[in-house]
Amino acid sequence: MAKQFNVPPVIFPSGGNPSNPNQRRLPTAPFQPSGSSNPSLPFLSFDVSSASTASFSPAPQFPSSSTIGGGGFDDEPPLLEELGINTKQIYQKTISVLNPFRINHHLHEDADLSGPFLFLMAFGLFQLLAGKLHFGIILGWVTMASMFLYVVFNMLAGKNGNLDMYTCLSLIGYGMLPIVILSALSLFVPQGGVVIMILTGLLVIWSTRVCTRLVVELANCGDEHRGLITYACFLIYMLFSLLIIF
């Protein structure tokens, strides 16, 4: 015989009896928190009508780029101007140097190193095309030449000398333009010939005249020592021309 077990009746907490259909509880709405501070906000009820009527805060508004820092990028100066590179001034000084008989020394009163640096890099590039790596030599010689001209002139002018090192670098650098032209022409002229020697003499005189004229016009007591300044400038540019010839 099968053994019978006495099973106690199951009592549900809600008091309903699933065996009696009359006592079943009707389904209720999902749980709502009793301590909710905003009863209008639905809590997982998936009620579309109540969710559509719920109030939401608007998205935060951020200031546009035009209101930050004044007028934005339209009022910002060009990048070259921020770096201290005035392309218009460099162009005007270059055109002035190209005419050795009518040099406008007023353009060179505001000394800069942007134009001379471009000329020196072009000089080194043309030398590199000729198979000579002279970038370090060119920069080193320009520095020593500027110190040489600075010391010579201020020793001649004495207490009245007002030529500073920065101006010497600028004037010697702009006077290098004929030497840069000579370096470019040497790529198409046979080395060691008469033609290259004549071109070297003419362009060295051109550079010497330009640098001497600028130093005499911009420095005090420059006219009194024009001959010595011319000799110093001639030695400087003749030294650079030896890099091209040999």
Mean of pLDDT values over 240-245: 94
Tell me the per-residue pLDDT of 113-131, one tens digit each, with 9 for 90 and over. 999 999 999 999 999 999 9
| The pLDDT of residue 199 | 96
Phi, psi of 25 (to 5 degrees): -80, 145
The burial of 138, by beta-carbon neighbours within 10 Å (0-12 exposed, 13-18 middle, 19 or more buried), is given as: buried
Mean of pLDDT values over 126-154: 94
Phi, psi of 84 (to 5 degrees): 80, 25
Structure token pair of residue 171: 């004037």
Closest to 100 measured CA to CA, from 186, 182, 178: 178
- Whole-model pTM? 0.69
The burial of 143, by beta-carbon neighbours within 10 Å (0-12 exposed, 13-18 middle, 19 or more buried), is given as: middle
pLDDT at 135 over 60: yes
| The pLDDT of residue 102 | 85
pLDDT at 14 over 80: no
- C-alpha distances in angstroms, 246 versus 14, 100, 139, 190? 111, 26, 18, 12
Tell me the per-residue pLDDT of 42-95, one tens digit each, with 9 for 90 and over. 545 445 455 455 454 555 565 554 445 555 566 677 777 677 788 999 999 999
Instruction: Number of helices (H) and strands (E) in the chain: give both, helices first.
Output: 9, 0
Mean of pLDDT values over 27-37: 52
